[in-house]
Amino acid sequence: MRDTDAPIHGTVCKNGQKPSGDDDSLEDVSQGRFVPCNSANVFSVKIVDSNVGFPIQVYGTVIARDSLDLKCVYLFNRRRDDCQLVLSKDESLILTGPKRGLALIDGIYFEVNLKVKCGGRKHKDKQLSKGFLGLDGVPYISQDEIEVQRYALDTMLSQVVLTCAVDKNAVEATIAIEVIQGKFYGEINACTTGIRDSIVLHDSKIMTADSTDNGTKGAIPLLRHVVSVGLKEKLILTVARTGACKAKSAIKFTPRVNGGDEKEITCGFIKMRVKVIWSIILCLHID
């Protein structure tokens, strides 16, 4: 078990940037003097019960605060003039974050502040959900078995459920995908070999026409670019082409503490280039 009073040391990387040449820290990881901290992936945030019924137009924020800097890391962020239409309890909010890997040491706190748009005037809107959820990081210091966790926030008008899973000794994978042959319409999801619940990276049905219908080649717009991956796991990207010519393919990446990987994947008549940049979220000293 890690000594909780031990100093924290390592390379902090935000927004997919590579480590800034801290070779000593990377060498310490490889020699076992430091280990990457645990992290967590958020799969979905759902309004599973609504006293105002469905469908509803939802806006507001869901943010995370972690052990790294306690700053707001947005998972969901929509203004009143850009509401998400939620049709049923089975539909997740469209998550566009986190923009960096979440560091799980003492805990990660999720703050929910969601409202329902009611008519044309803001003063008629209703507070759908407001409160806090906490993911305790201490049990995972010594716990090896990882399971999907669901945390419920009950308020007067709704119940919101956040689904997530912890990744042990995790690094940050920043993903970019480019179509190099054909024209893609479909879904792209990410998961790890340890937890098969998926993170939605791209869904052509909910992206704007301009971002998905831009020719036969080019970068695919992603809802989320960052996935946390345990060093003992593998990152799996699944590409599913929908429409008249359905096809499905998957590709795996082995995590590293720094550097990048590039692979090509074929899905039906479509060929894509996938780039992954690896970086350390935070390292912990071990005695």
Residues of the chain with CATH 2.60.40: 39-167, 170-280
Please enumerate in sequence order all residues whose Cβ is within 8 A of that of 70, keeping only pairs 6 or more positions apart, or say none. Answer: none
Identify the CATH number of the domain defined by range 170-280: 2.60.40
Return the amino acid letter for 287: D
Q: How confident is the model at residue 212 (pLDDT cuts 50, 70, 90)?
A: very low
Residues 114-140 pLDDT 10s: 999 998 888 899 999 999 999 998 888
Please enumerate in sequence order all residues whose Cβ is within 8 A of that of 241, keeping only pairs 6 or more positions apart, or say none. Answer: 184, 185, 186, 247, 248, 267, 268, 270
Rounded distance between C-alpha atoms, residue 141 and residue 104, angstroms:
10
pLDDT value of residue 215: 37
pLDDT value of residue 208: 56
pLDDT value of residue 287: 56
Whether residue 18 is predicted with pLDDT greater than 90 in this model: the reply is: no
For the entire predicted model, the pTM comes to 0.85
pLDDT value of residue 47: 98
Q: Quick one: which of 23, 49, 21, 278 has its CA closest to 161?
A: 49
pLDDT value of residue 35: 79
Terminal-residue alpha carbon distance, the chain: 9
pLDDT value of residue 170: 95
Residue 73: its H or E element? strand 73-78
Contact 262, 173 (CB under 8 A): no
Rounded distance between C-alpha atoms, residue 104 and residue 85, angstroms:
32
- What's the average model confidence in pLDDT over 137-163? 90
Peptide bond into 55 cis (omega under 30): yes
Q: Which CATH architecture has domain 39-167?
A: Sandwich (2.60)
